[in-house]
Amino acid sequence: MNRRAKFVAADLGASSGRVMVGLWDGTRLSLEELHRFHNGGVNSGRELRWDVSGIWAHIQEALKKYRVRFNDSPDGIGVDAWGVDFGLLDSSGQLVSNPFHYRDVRTLGVSQSLFKVIPESRIFAETGTQTMEINTLFQLYSMVQKNDEELQRADTLLMIPDLFHYFLCGEKAIEYTEATTTQMYSMARCDWVEPLLNAAGIARSLLPRIVAPASILGTIRTEVMRESGIEKTVPVVAVASHDTASAVVAIPNMDANSIFISSGTWSLIGVETGEPCISDDAFRLHFTNEGGPDGHVLLLKNITGLWILQECQRQWKMQGQHYEWTHIVKAASEAKALQSIFDPNDRRVQVESDMLGAIQSYCSETKQPVPQTIGEIARCAFQSLCLKYKSTIESLELLRARELKTIRIVGGGSLNTFLNQMTADACNRSVVAGPVEASALGNVMLQAIATGHLKDIHEARSAIAASMECVFYEPHPSEAWDEAFVKFKRLEVD
């Protein structure tokens, strides 16, 4: 319990990646950054894919930096990443091709095609997973429909973090929290849904065994040790490999009256429950059930988050206007409040080519003032996100039949003090922000549990509470927010 240890956590996001070292002194934990890099899809003009070899090179570079910095071997290494995307290995264990990005257009309309074979309600009843065309199920079904040559060559499917675990130690397995993002896993059966796979024409043999969070998969391969300079064998741990699940591990004081928001490119908003919710209301309200640590289920909704403003920022840069986040937030804070709003999950703002035009067209079509300046556009996006949070929380209270009093925000978005206070005001609830690097912290904590340095999740959360500071925001509700919410509910698509 009091042994010192160092754990390497590769925390891969859809827009950036970071490799951290968790330094455990037996009582408290600190994080040190080894390596940070840009991540994103590579668009060939025909398709959008992930540069897996590039990401792997960054992980190897981080291990070299670890060796230089500490001159020893870590006590564990684990990878967490986004859900739904996957890589395919052939019979010799080689990667068939770079994995597709979830925003590739190949899945457009595919869900409706599958629902003609097996009804959507039946899929939800089996999996508890909300329909999103980016889900693994529909990515695979799009390949089945096209008799895709890559799928025909494939012997094994591994989700993104599991793929890097395979590169690290050679073990083919899918970690439970990632499996639950595929829309092919049954929490009730604790296994893949074979009737669904058969109906979709997906070979069951593609899917390897499922392992629980905090499972030691094996030890780091000799080739990786040689490349990085690490001299002793290192356990490779399947943490809660879906980054949302890892982030929830790291939330201090998470209880039955708390809502979590993992805020970043996506906003994942939900609660911890003891069992999946597959009621008619959950289906109608588009909630999903994902695996959490320690036997919990995360009942949540996926909301398009800060990606919308990231796209605006990218577009402004292409126009020769280089705006940092601090400038965007300051401009938003100075713009007039609650002039225009939109539903972040509306298809009309799910575009990469012209996000500024999409927001402006949406506001024009819905007969609202059209935002023009940086501040007006940013404020429109921030307040729309907060109103989506409020709507989602009301739905969660309906599903859980209880009042949810405290919003706990983790991830990069927890640094945005303007957005945090706006969230408190819009939702009329207390907000606790932090820790920022929650996914990396959760990753480290599960490695500590797997290797015997911590007993369980409760002890891990207590350690994080003792190690990290959070920021508190109290709400300042107003009639203006109430009126905006009534307007938002008329615009909301789900």
Q: What is the CATH number of the domain that holds 293?
A: 3.30.420.40
Helices and strands (H and E) in the chain: how many: 19, 21
Among 407, 441, 469, smallest CA distance to 245 is for: 441
Report yes or no on 243 lying in a domain: no
Domain boundary among 208, 238, 268: 238
Residue 345, pLDDT score? 95
- Rounded Cα distance, 133 and 136, in Å: 8
174/275 same-domain check: no
Residues 266 and 381 in one domain: yes
Q: How far apart are CA 445 and CA 453, in angstroms?
A: 9
User: What is the model's pLDDT at position 1?
Assistant: 47
Other Cβ atoms closer than 10 A to 256: 11
Which DSSP string do the residues of 202-245 spell out, in sequence order?
--GGGS--EE-TTEEEEE--HHHHHHHT--S--EEEE-S-BHHH
The answer to whether 84 and 134 are in contact (CB under 8 A) is yes
Write the DSSP symbol of residue 175: E
Residue 352: predicted pLDDT = 75
Domain end (from 238, 262, 289): 238
Looking at the structure, do residues 213 and 295 belong to the same domain, yes or no? no
Positions in the chain short of pLDDT 50: 1
Tell whether 445 is covered by a domain: no
Final residue of a domain: which of 188, 217, 238?
Answer: 238
CA 62/CA 58 separation, integer angstroms? 6
**Alpha helix positions (H), 275-354:** 280-284, 307-318, 325-334
Examine the domain organization and report whether 231 and 315 are in the same domain. no
Separation CA 442–CA 240 (nearest Å): 8
User: 470 CB contacts (<8 Å, ≥6 apart)?
Assistant: 252, 432, 433, 434, 435
User: CB-based contacts of 332: which residues, under 8 Å, 6+ apart?
Assistant: 375, 378, 379, 382, 418
Specify whether 257 is located in the same domain as 381.
yes
How many domains, in total, are found in the chain?
A: 2
**Is residue 441 situated within a structural domain?**
no
E strand intervals along 387-464:
406-410, 430-433
> Residue 2: what pLDDT?
55
Specify if 448 maps to a domain.
no
- Buried b vs exposed e over 318-350: b needs ≥16 C-beta within 10 Å? eeeeebeeeebbebbbebeebbbbbbbbbeebe
- Bridge partners, 432 (sequence order): 408, 472
Evaluate whether residue 246 is within a structural domain.
no
257 with 225, same domain: the answer is no
Cβ distance 394 to 401 under 8 Å? no
* Predicted local confidence at residue 353, as pLDDT: 84
- pLDDT per position as a tens digit, 59-79: 999 999 999 999 999 999 999
Judge if 309 and 357 occupy the same domain: yes
The alpha carbon dihedral of 439, 411, 53, 230 has a sign of: negative
Q: Where in the sequence is the domain holding 345, given as residue range(s)?
A: 251-434+455-494
Same structural domain for residues 259 and 202? no
What are the distances in angstroms from CA 457 to CA 211, 261, 469?
Answer: 17, 19, 19
- 101 secondary structure, DSSP code: P
Residue 185 DSSP code: E
Question: Would you name the residues annotated as active-site residues?
Answer: 243
* 395 plus 326 within the same structural domain: yes
- Per the domain annotation, does 158 fall within a domain? yes
299 and 340, same domain (yes or no) = yes
Residues 168 and 41 occupy one common structural domain: yes
